[in-house]
Amino acid sequence: MLIRTAIAALLLAASGLIASAQTQALPETPPPGMAFATFATGCFWCTESDFDKVKGVVSTTSGYTNGTLKNPSYQQVSAGGTGHAEAVRVVYDPKIVSYERLLHVFWRTHDPLTANAQFCDRGSQYRPAVFTHDEEQKRSAEASKAALQKSGVLKGQIATAIEIAGTFYAAEDYHQDYYQKNPIRYRYYRSACGRDARVKEVWGAEAGGS
């Protein structure tokens, strides 16, 4: 069993939460003056934590996107076969932070050389991806990917996907802000999964998006 799946199972048992609690689709239109960005970098606990640190990010929501099942549960997605990716919906203020800056952070907080897996989590549900919300985001994502590949910073072919954003389902409440609610379990998972070590190996001094 994967480390994080085991942790989630223990949390459910300890809290009495219902594992099959139904998830809900989020609105497709951002709040006035705000914009959406959706990213997958493996474990959504970690993606949420990384993007919450970015100035101009208003909120982050862990969830599931671009699959075939309506209102999927964590258990269904993590088992594979639904087509969904664990992802994070970012609401940001474009007056403070640009989409290009978010892409910069995105690339440097995951392993773009590995498809259908990130760190200790395996399967297409953990695929790294940019989910674009309009043509401008699509062009920006494709341009940043091409420029990064051409730069030679990465020692291999970029495997990260660029997909058109589909319906986004907010994950169960116990997954939201997990790194804040359960800091000890979160730090253990992130370290044991080898996330930061691998990002540092891939990106060197650029790791973390700074």
Average pLDDT of the segment spanning 75-102: 97
Please confirm, yes or no, whether 46 is among the known catalytic residues: no
121 inside domain:
yes
Q: Is residue 27 part of a domain?
A: no
Task: Pick the most confident of 22-36, 86-100, 196-210.
Answer: 86-100
Q: Is 36 within the bounds of a domain?
A: yes
Of 121, 135, 138, 108, the residue nearest 204 (C-alpha): 108
In a domain, 23, yes or no: no
Catalytic residue among 43, 46, 120, 193: 43
Rounded to whole angstroms, what are the CA distances from 37 to 41, 59, 104, 182?
13, 11, 13, 25
Residue 162 inside a domain? The answer is yes
Number of domains in the chain: 1
Structure letter (DSSP) for residue 30: P
- What CA–CA distances, in Å, run from 132 to 1, 63, 90, 155, 164? 32, 16, 12, 26, 5
* pLDDT for residue 19: 46
Specify the CATH number for the domain of residue 138.
Answer: 3.30.1060.10
pLDDT in tens, 131-182: 999 999 999 999 999 999 999 999 999 999 999 999 999 999 999 999 999 9
Task: Specify the pLDDT at position 30.
Answer: 96
* 32: exposed, middle or buried (Cβ count in 10 Å: 0-12, 13-18, 19+): exposed
pLDDT band at 6 (very low <50, low <70, confident <90, very high): low
Domain that holds residue 156: 3-18+32-205
- Within a domain: residue 26? no
Does any domain span residue 101?
Answer: yes
